Structure 1
Amino acid sequence: MEVRDVEGNSFKPEQTWSPAALGGGGYITGLIQHPSKSGVLYARCDVAGVFASIDGGFRWEARNAGLTKAYHHQVQSFAISPHHPEVLFRCSGEVRSRKFHGSVHKSDDDGHTWREVCTGMGFYGNGPTRMYGEIIAVDPHHPGIVAAGGYTGGLWISRDEGESWKQSSLPEERFGCVAFHPGIPGLLYAGTISDEDLNMDYVETDGGGVLGLLQDPPRGKAGRLYASTDLGESWVLLHEGPSFAELACDIRDPQHLRAACIWNGILHSQNGGQTWQPDMTGLLQDGHRYGTVVQDIHHPQLWYTAPDARPHMQTVPPIPLYVSGLDSGVTEPWKLLRQHKDENLSGFPAYMDHFGSGSRAEATGWAISKILVDRFIEERLYLTNWYGVAVSTDRGRTWRAAQFQGLETTCMEAVTSAWEQPGKFCVTMADHPPKVTEDGGKSFWNLPGLPGYSGSTAAVIPRTSRQSYLYGLVGQGRTACIALSRDNGETASAVLTLSPGLFVQALQEDGVNADTFYAYMDGAIASGAGIYRSTDSGMTWEQTAFRPPAYMTEIPHMKNWIEADLLSVVVYQVKNACGANQLLAANPLQEGRVLVGEWTEGIWESSDSGDNWVSIGAGLPFKRRGLGSVLNAVAYSPSYPDTIYAGFITEGLWRSTNGGQSWSKLYPAEVDGLFNVSALTLGIGDHGEDLIIVACEPMVMNGTDSQVLCSRDGGESWEAWNQTELGAVRWKGIALDRAGKQVLGVSCGNGAYRILLKDKI
């Protein structure tokens, strides 16, 4: 195939990525089953796209080929055609800078490749309605009819199996479910979600008063249920009041419907949706939202639901899965399926206790988004939640997970390689302690976390000890520490506990003195943000003389823009995949020479281990093109002591060959060329020049594509590494091992990938 770089030059890729053992994923928000092939399932994810399983939900692989924008991986809904099961659809999108984006993609080959077919709607794949019902559906009676309702943009209809679309007459509300009636040809339902019923975790407040959903203006104080009897040509309003997150039609009685209505719980209707009554007897009620309800097709009297339980809900059963209809009645009371214990579970990974509950059963029951009844195998159920897909073969009494192979909750922050240990890397990530591989990514093992900390940010593997690891941990409520393990990950302890609000942005070892380490803490300057130093292998730390300009009160200086809009995995998640471990560098050729960068304000260097600092960022494109040009990586050349690299979002890669006295743009060569340096690593090239590997994550704000480029001659020429099968990967870190042969790249939700470098011919 022909690949083109950002300047339009064509070349043949020399390298191709292979998946590492550390898979992608996030909150698994939906699940559908192939209509004719037993064991084939598809899962959708809030940040990592669509995954497929061919063994009944135990092993998964990503299916995102053909996607070009980061938000294409943020999937709010998907559907499979019951007439042509090789045809799938996905609705994806996000909001940035208060503008919604969205696409409908179609696949004609079981999800292996995708192409965009509609851009009329905005979707919010990682938004407050992500865990609810499907908003795209294929008519079970008419193969060509497909309907989709946007988070913005209204409801659209296709009459040629998704090839072309037309907006319907419905108002542009926030759709929560779209469903064709399985027993009444031509009947289409569309339910909406009110402002008041949104996930309150996403709402910002000021002095106790709700301001509204972050980046989402008010669009309706009431939920509504609409119906069309002519496949979307005309509509009637059936009901107004509750929000409709999922709608289920009773296969025994076409007039009987059940609906999951978020804070209004489960409702049912006996007249096709015109009037609704509560159906909550036996269920948890006050303070619980319901987003899923499903009928058992093998035993139609049975229905299943679960509240969206969260870690702080102490009185909720470990796995709050409820069943109704055990006594064959239409509205029999709901009953807890089982008071699950850890012994009822198998194959669930250890990290599921990262909130400190002490019980994997409780973690299995957190944030259940979908319950699915297997269409082929009686008593086989599936549930999806924060972590992945769990499988039960005994109607929910016991559950298995097979370690969520290929589908993990992994929004990775950074990756670093070990000194003189080929194939050894350490990866940090949101919601998990670091993971280590010693075989180039074929397998990983966990470094220990600490109580109160749920994620990791930066890490360094000391040169003098193959048994030691220094890494930053972050906890709930903006707490952080530096942890040290000296026994190859058997145990760890906090060697520096930070003031609330500080964050371990980067860790580096001095390039010559193996006992000296540096740490970059961001947060409030008054609380101690700045550069720290340890001269005893990380055991004790002191703050260096680095002080940012007086007008800065916190790092990052433009905190909300940098962390909550530009670099984060989603707009409201501050400190999640926000550029860790790339703005601090130590010169590998000169002791005590250290480089630190701040996103919008400059670069500073110390030649005496942090006792004195000078600004060397003059001439770099800080905040050029408005706010679009932001520093994201700094690095020293491994061969030339005065050569420094600076990588920018939008403005690409820059280089100084005289210690920062002057700078020039290295890539793209065009002055106006756009490229996001999301990740940067250096090595020694074929003839002693710098080997440069740079990764670009796609961003809505500048229209850049996902790609990884390599130069073996110090930036004179570039080659692209083929990632067509991976889709629009949000690269966050990349590292080259010390042998200069193995590369590990990590992403925000899309998994880790590895390459074995070949010698250039």
Structure 2
Amino acid sequence: MENSLNLPGVLLPAGLGGGGYITGLLQHPADNRVLYARCDVAGVFRSRDGGESWETLNRGLTQAYHHQVQSFAISCHHPEVMFRCCGEVRSRTFYGAVHKSADGGNSWYEVCSGMGFYGNGPTRMYGEVIAVDPVHPGIIAAGGYTGGLWISRDEGESWEQSSLPEERFGCVAFHPDQPGMLYAGTISDEELNMDYADPGEYGILGLLQDRPRGKAGRMYLSRDSGQSWELLVEGPSFAGLSFDSRDPQRLLAACIWGGIKSSADGGQTWQSAGEGLLIGKQRYGTLIQDWHVPDRWYTAPDLRPQMQDIPPIPLYVSDDGAERWKLLHHHNDNDLSGFPAYMDSFNGGSRASAAGWAISKIIVDRFTPGRLYLCNWYGVAYSGDGGMTWRAGQFRGLETTCMEAVVADKLQPGKFCVTMADHSPKVTEDGGLSFRNLPGLSGYSGSSAAVISAADPGLYLYGLIGHGRTACIAVYRDGEDRARAALTLGPGLFVQALREDGNQPGTYYAYVDGAVSAGAGIYRSRDGGTSWDRTAFRPPAYVQTLPYQKRWIEAELLSVVVYQVKNACGSNQLMDTNPHQAGQLIAGEATEGIWQSSDHGDTWDFIGEGLPFQHGGPASILSAVAYSPSCPGTIYAGFISEGLWRSSDGGQSWHKLFPVMAGKLFNVSALCVGRGEHGEDVLISASEPMVRTSTESEMAWSRDGGDTWEEWEHAPLGAVRWKGIALDCEVRQVLAVTCGNGAFRGTISL
């Protein structure tokens, strides 16, 4: 088994195994074993063994939105040429770029920034919006979420905007048999996929920070490769388009809530083609014809956990040219193999239900009859018997989880606990090679902060995120059947950080975000986490929420999605306990300061004078605080855009530690401090790329308390959004967690 212990300074994917949304899938046009997958937050992946294992393809990506991929394409003429469309929205501005690869995805460079894409937005799971002309290799067409449709006539090197209006494009496709014919379908405002968000007072478009772009979907046609256009039809939203190989005039489309529709006249008129599909309103976004049996078609509705009376894997097949449909097979867990164990805990304990949740794409193997692939919220699976049984290779290398935090065991080398946005915590005891689940609780779907007890081995405390934006502190001991909720928090509250008092066994502290009037603040437990009381910590009277600028910080600056508050914003870094003094702890507020208590939280003193709160503009916010394990009186504070600061006198004075060069911005989105062999502090600090600060992904480490620094080479990883770093108790093994790209393991050499 591959082990990073012999490779100091090299970061390798940890063995989490998928867990994020794979929104698109392509097969190499000439090599049946090569597949490409795109993810809403993790970029592009490649498999060289038919979907059994995967590798990340993000070299050359630098900006915050470059891993949020809405669409991609591969040239059938030159298979080493690929394109990807990425983007997101921040501060009412859509960002987007088209990148090109000339070496099969090994590296990428930007070729167009005229369109806005929304890789993690409401149309992410639908059709491809970039396409290569099957006749002319130089002609490429791409339709944005904003910015209209653009054409390249030199294989993607330069682009010009077409005359089409700036609507939301759901599919862009060249006709495979009729040269010059290019179709472009759009999606209406009313059929956006926002059923998992609460629009509240803002409305759907308010959440998207977008303007109206059409009350109806449309299908456009160009007969001259995009030089001129005609409107074919107005009405349904076109999320996926397929061409019938038996009849060049016949088209089929997945029309979201409009179901499956067919056209017999090249797209001029459309009729329903949904006989036999599920009764009631279902959302459809994928539709594919079998290469080997042209009468056979496949589709699947977008199953979500709250939906009732839908088959576990709702894969439907038609054997008469998509006229009538039937369920391919009623799958159960015995029909599945090679899926990660964590999927057992979802959807009532049914692995089959998890495998069928949110299917985004179905593709048919070009070369092997009966071989199918599907991708969904968890990863990519394949079938060798026409869809009757399904296999996954444990989603090896398909690291796509949005993670919150990581903590190290203070006693056992190589042991870490990680938390993530959509899963309960996981524990590794081999430095990240393998993980096991910690149990969640009914009604809770994600995890935030965590602590592994040093005083009571095998005891874990962790924050869980519940439906309806509730939270709790769970307590679990190795060997027990289940976890228990020790502190249940109301709506809008969130466990930001958990710490153990290193000098007083059984004493724990919790930092709770949210409305101060609802209970946000610092809590403590003196009985091993069984019961909790709120300490005397109170921010200034004008601070009514923690953080003070809560909505902007969580939903605009740090979050992976603008309307999903506390989804992988990063946690477990704004509180710490002093290893040199019992009852002493610090707590930071993002924009207002740092406070310290020396009596278990009964009284608090402000120690943030001289730190750059708001000095660098609205993006100058505190992201991490930490006591030195080596030097009593030394404290570290990390800031977005303003880098890392140190106090050597208990917080009375501060000076900037990194970066010291004038004008360079560094987002301390992740920080860890360990005790070196000779009593010095070992620091690792990582910077996630952000639109607001125009910073790139970086990681640096110091073996002398921050006086000198070395850059950690991670260019192949792309624009990674670092959320947490931990060093094990031997200050050798490293585990770093990210928003979107899972976790990475490595070592340092002192």
* Range of TM-score over shorter length: over 0.9
Q: Where do 1:132-147 residues align within 5 Å?
A: 132-147=126-141
Shift of 1:319: 1.4
Determine the C-alpha separation between the residues in 2 that align with 1:210 and 1:713.
50
1:270 aligned onto 2:264: yes
Determine the C-alpha separation between the residues in 2 that align with 1:208 and 1:571.
12
Partner of 2:489: 498
- Please tell me whether the aligned partners of residues 310 and 367 of structure 1 are also in contact (alpha carbons under 8 angstroms): yes
Partner of 1:508: 499
Shift of 1:46: 0.3
Deviates more, 1:206-215 or 1:689-698: 206-215
Amino acid aligned to 1:675: F
Partner of 1:5: none
Shift of 1:281: 1.2
- Please tell me whether the aligned partners of residues 89 and 208 of structure 2 are also in contact (alpha carbons under 8 angstroms): no
Shift of 1:409: 4.9
Q: Where do 1:560-709 residues align within 5 Å?
A: 560-670=551-661, 672-685=663-676, 687-709=678-700
Shift of 1:426: 0.8
Determine the C-alpha separation between the residues in 2 that align with 1:388 and 1:24.
6
1:303 aligned onto 2:301: no
Shift of 1:354: 4.5
Partner of 1:194: 188
Superposed CA offset, 1:251-301 (max 9, x none) = 110000000111111111000001111112112253311111111111101
Determine the C-alpha separation between the residues in 2 that align with 1:547 and 1:107.
53
Shift of 1:670: 3.7
- Please tell me whether the aligned partners of residues 362 and 375 of structure 2 are also in contact (alpha carbons under 8 angstroms): yes
Amino acid aligned to 1:81: S
1:752 aligned onto 2:743: yes
Determine the C-alpha separation between the residues in 1 that align with 2:64 and 2:16.
20
Give 1:289's match in structure 2, choosing from 283, 286, 289: 283
Superposed CA offset, 1:83-116 (max 9, x none) = 1111111101111111111111111222111111
Determine the C-alpha separation between the residues in 2 that align with 1:670 and 1:721.
18
Partner of 1:6: none
Amino acid aligned to 1:94: E
Amino acid aligned to 1:184: Q
Shift of 1:490: 5.2
1:460 aligned onto 2:454: no
Superposed CA offset, 1:145-169 (max 9, x none) = 1111111111111111111111111
Partner of 2:375: 384
Seen in structure 2, the aligned counterparts of structure 1 residues 66 and 342 have a Cα distance that, compared at 3 Å, is same
Shift of 1:213: 4.5
Partner of 1:240: 234
Determine the C-alpha separation between the residues in 1 that align with 2:297 and 2:710.
55
Amino acid aligned to 2:660: A
- Where 2:430 maps in the other structure, the secondary structure is coil
Determine the C-alpha separation between the residues in 1 that align with 2:537 and 2:272.
62
Partner of 2:119: 125
Determine the C-alpha separation between the residues in 1 that align with 2:614 and 2:231.
49
1:735 aligned onto 2:726: yes
Partner of 1:342: 333
CA RMSD of aligned residues (A): 1.8
- Please tell me whether the aligned partners of residues 356 and 451 of structure 1 are also in contact (alpha carbons under 8 angstroms): no
Shift of 1:195: 0.8
Determine the C-alpha separation between the residues in 1 that align with 2:396 and 2:16.
9
Deviates more, 1:42-51 or 1:393-402: 393-402
Shift of 1:405: 1.8
Deviates more, 1:282-291 or 1:127-136: 282-291
Seen in structure 2, the aligned counterparts of structure 1 residues 23 and 73 have a Cα distance that, compared at 3 Å, is farther
Amino acid aligned to 1:362: S
Partner of 1:42: 36
Give 1:319's match in structure 2, choosing from 296, 313, 318: 313
Partner of 2:108: 114
Seen in structure 2, the aligned counterparts of structure 1 residues 321 and 46 have a Cα distance that, compared at 3 Å, is same
Determine the C-alpha separation between the residues in 2 that align with 1:376 and 1:20.
33
Determine the C-alpha separation between the residues in 2 that align with 1:740 and 1:331.
60
Q: Where do 1:373-452 residues align within 5 Å?
A: 373-452=364-443
Shift of 1:446: 1.4
Partner of 1:526: 517
Amino acid aligned to 2:440: G
Shift of 1:125: 0.2
Determine the C-alpha separation between the residues in 2 that align with 1:673 and 1:38.
46
Seen in structure 2, the aligned counterparts of structure 1 residues 331 and 448 have a Cα distance that, compared at 3 Å, is closer
Superposed CA offset, 1:181-228 (max 9, x none) = 001111111111111111133665446976654212211111111111
- Please tell me whether the aligned partners of residues 387 and 408 of structure 1 are also in contact (alpha carbons under 8 angstroms): no
Amino acid aligned to 2:331: H
- Please tell me whether the aligned partners of residues 32 and 42 of structure 1 are also in contact (alpha carbons under 8 angstroms): yes
1:174 aligned onto 2:174: no
Amino acid aligned to 2:393: A
- Please tell me whether the aligned partners of residues 17 and 340 of structure 2 are also in contact (alpha carbons under 8 angstroms): no
1:261 aligned onto 2:255: yes
Amino acid aligned to 2:216: A
**Unmatched tracts of structure 1, length 5 or more:** 1-12
Seen in structure 2, the aligned counterparts of structure 1 residues 206 and 506 have a Cα distance that, compared at 3 Å, is closer
Q: TM-score, normalised by structure 2?
A: 0.96
Amino acid aligned to 1:598: E
Determine the C-alpha separation between the residues in 2 that align with 1:144 and 1:507.
56
Determine the C-alpha separation between the residues in 1 that align with 2:732 and 2:43.
30
Determine the C-alpha separation between the residues in 2 that align with 1:207 and 1:81.
44
Amino acid aligned to 2:122: P
- Please tell me whether the aligned partners of residues 203 and 211 of structure 1 are also in contact (alpha carbons under 8 angstroms): no
Partner of 2:357: 366
Superposed CA offset, 1:113-147 (max 9, x none) = 11111111110000000000000111111111111
Shift of 1:448: 1.6
Taking every aligned residue pair, what percent have the same amino acid on both sides? 69
Partner of 2:536: 545
**Unmatched tracts of structure 2, length 5 or more:** 1-6
Determine the C-alpha separation between the residues in 2 that align with 1:717 and 1:757.
15
Amino acid aligned to 2:245: I
Give 1:716's match in structure 2, choosing from 680, 703, 707: 707
Shift of 1:342: 2.0
Superposed CA offset, 1:406-434 (max 9, x none) = 22552111011111322111111111111
- Where 2:394 maps in the other structure, the secondary structure is helix
- Where 2:215 maps in the other structure, the secondary structure is coil
- Please tell me whether the aligned partners of residues 59 and 108 of structure 2 are also in contact (alpha carbons under 8 angstroms): yes
Determine the C-alpha separation between the residues in 1 that align with 2:615 and 2:350.
50
1:97 aligned onto 2:81: no
- Where 1:254 maps in the other structure, the secondary structure is coil
- Please tell me whether the aligned partners of residues 354 and 431 of structure 1 are also in contact (alpha carbons under 8 angstroms): no
Determine the C-alpha separation between the residues in 2 that align with 1:568 and 1:622.
20
- Where 2:164 maps in the other structure, the secondary structure is coil
Give 2:716's match in structure 1, choosing from 721, 725, 729: 725
Give 2:463's match in structure 1, choosing from 446, 457, 472: 472
Superposed CA offset, 1:571-590 (max 9, x none) = 12111111210001011111
Determine the C-alpha separation between the residues in 2 that align with 1:125 and 1:184.
30
Amino acid aligned to 1:581: N
Shift of 1:486: 2.0
- Where 1:357 maps in the other structure, the secondary structure is helix
Determine the C-alpha separation between the residues in 2 that align with 1:213 and 1:30.
24
Partner of 1:8: none
Determine the C-alpha separation between the residues in 2 that align with 1:491 and 1:314.
27
Partner of 2:4: none
Determine the C-alpha separation between the residues in 1 that align with 2:692 and 2:332.
47
